[in-house]
Chain A
Amino acid sequence: MIRIENVSLRHGKTQILHDISLTIAKGGITALVGPNGAGKSSLLSLIARLQPLQAGRITVDGFHVDATPNRDLARILAILRQDSIFTSRLRVRELVSFGRFPHGRGRLTPADYAIIDQSLQQFDLTDLADRFIETLSGGQRQRALVAMAFAQETDYLLLDEPLNNLDMYFARELMRSLRRIADENGKTIVIVLHDINQAGAHADRIVALKSGRIVADGAPCDLLTPKTLQAIFGFEMRVETVDDTPVVLHFR
């Protein structure tokens, strides 16, 4: 369980998150949606202790994120950031191997190699495994990053816009893989999505953020209504239901 209590964040004079409280139960996919600058990435990086907590408390599985040794946290929580930077001369397989670092501090066992191979295979990276990251296309690179987060094999997975740069096929594959590990392995996934229909089709719960506040929270079929969507994004859109899944027509 991820428990966020009264978390606020400010950078200088601007208040970025206003007194956020949110509890995410163990197991399942929670989608974070909201306009640009709403504070989604900020909230995620606070949960993943990438920046210090200024006010409030966050616990993951009962561990306070700002008081638990980093090593221990890295075995229960993995994060994929929106803007990951790369060093040079790094091969895809090496990058994915880093996902195993929290478990063996760099020493890889046969079991680790098996997990790495499986992650590579899952994201169709086997043929690219020996390529340098800087020579990949944007989507291939994104897949490599997701594969690394997968290889970390943590119970909690925080993904900030993992569908960036992915084509329709791989976007669907990624969402299906997430669905599978949530259902079969009981993983807890928090994912920032801009594609509201992906959220509608695959998430168990959608939490909407706007200007640093939670403005809507609920199951996709309850939340994806023209009225709520207008409140979140500020414009009108049609919603149809296809095969019991709400589909938002926001293109025109």
Chain B
Amino acid sequence: MSERRLLFLAGAALLCIVAFMTIGLRGNIGFVLALRATKLAALLQVSVSIAISTVIFQTVTNNRILTPSIMGLDALYLFGQMLLVFLLGGLGYAALDAQLKFGGEIVVLMALATGLLSPMLRRRAEMGLMLLAGIIFGILFRSLHSLLARLVDPNDFAVVQGASFANFNDVRTDLLAFASILTIAGIVIAWRARHVLDVIALGADTATGLGISWSRTVTGLLLLVSALVAVSTALVGPVAFFGLLVVALAERVVDTRSHAALMPAAVLTAVIILVGGQTLFQHALGSSSTLGVVIEFVGGLAFLVLLVFGSRK
């Protein structure tokens, strides 16, 4: 049954993609199509990385409310970025090759995130504690980010300032090629790990009994999550609640936590919301820049609903 629902999601996602590419084509069609294709590629990557990283993160932490961004991972990414500017100076930073910078930022994020989160995941910490730690991490890194922002030269600051809130309209297309390598690698690794993820969901003891090396596997998954968060944050900026919304919806559509179904469903749901929403806002509502705000608002509502009424346990 979940196969039929997946097919339905896939159809809807395809429809959104076609609509995004074709509605309102005018002028130099070849040029417009190329422009849209680049943007579509970025939106697809963001969908994939947010959906997969959120599913994996929720499985590892064993709850439906935490997401990488609620745990402050994207704040951590921005902090790492600012740290690089601070250490290298704006000129040095700006002079660096964009791909190289991105690579460096990813490594910084993976190291920081794994260092901070693995101790908590060794033994599954309690949800309340994780949530609290996440909020504190988030605030800490945002404050460190603004502290560094004040310390660096104002000119240097301008180098990174552009990217501190989500904007689905203005994506960093210069990073697309490099990001797509990461995204594709992420898809392959996540898909190959789908059975392992099902076992991880049973908890540390049962998973160990079934032959999983818990610490090693969880650390590896966290590295993957960090890389995917880096991709989406670099491309469109931080998004707080989108992942939560997408996974909560996908879980209700396919009605299973089996990763072979849930991961594709979450990705397709993300594509529908992001690409479909972008099309809708661009052509019907005429203001594509507000999509981010609307998604965050709805996602925030979903977060509150899950928090208050509890996710289906």
Contact = CB atoms under 8 A, between A and B. Distances in A.
Real binding pair = yes
Interface string A146-168: 00000010000000000000000
Given A73-B211, A98-B198, A89 B257 contact: yes
Interface in B186-207: 194-196, 198-199, 201-203, 205-206
Given A84-B206, A87-B62, A89-B257, A70 B211 contact: yes
A101 B195 contact: yes
Contacts of B208: 48-50, 70
A50 B310 CA distance: 30
A213 interface: no
A184 B65 CA distance: 48
Given A74-B210, A89-B256, A102-B210, A81 B196 contact: no
Interface in B223-274: 251, 255-258
B213 interface: yes
Contacts of B175: none
A87 B212 contact: no
Contacts of B202: 85-87, 98
B312 interface: yes
B27 interface: no
Nearest to A75: B211
Nearest to A106: B195
Contacts of A50: 205, 208-209
A97 to B, nearest CB: 9
Contacts of B251: 89
A74 B258 contact: no
Contacts of B312: 88-89
Interface string A80-111: 01001111111000100011011001110000
Interface string B276-313: 00000000000000000000000000000000000111
Q: Secondary structure at chain A's binding surface: helix, strand, loop or mixed?
A: loop
A78 interface: yes
Interface string B162-203: 000000000000000000000000000000001110110111
Interface residues on A, range: 20 to 34
Contacts of A75: 211
Nearest to B211: A74
A88 B203 CA distance: 12
Nearest to A73: B211
A228 B208 CA distance: 36
A186 B251 CA distance: 44
A106 B194 CA distance: 9
A191 B201 CA distance: 26
A134 interface: yes
B213 A70 contact: yes
Interface centre among A71, A99, A105, A106 (most CB of B within 10 A): A106
Contacts of A86: 202
Contacts of B212: 70
Contacts of B256: 89
Interface in B49-97: 62
Given A98-B202, A105-B195, A89 B213 contact: no
A214 interface: no
16 contacts: A49-B208, A70-B208, A71-B211, A78-B209, A84-B205, A85-B203, A87-B201, A87-B202, A88-B257, A88-B311, A89-B257, A98-B198, A99-B210, A105-B195, A105-B196, A106-B199
Q: List the 8 closest A-B pairs by CB distance, nearest first.
A: A106-B195, A74-B211, A102-B211, A71-B211, A87-B201, A89-B257, A79-B209, A101-B210
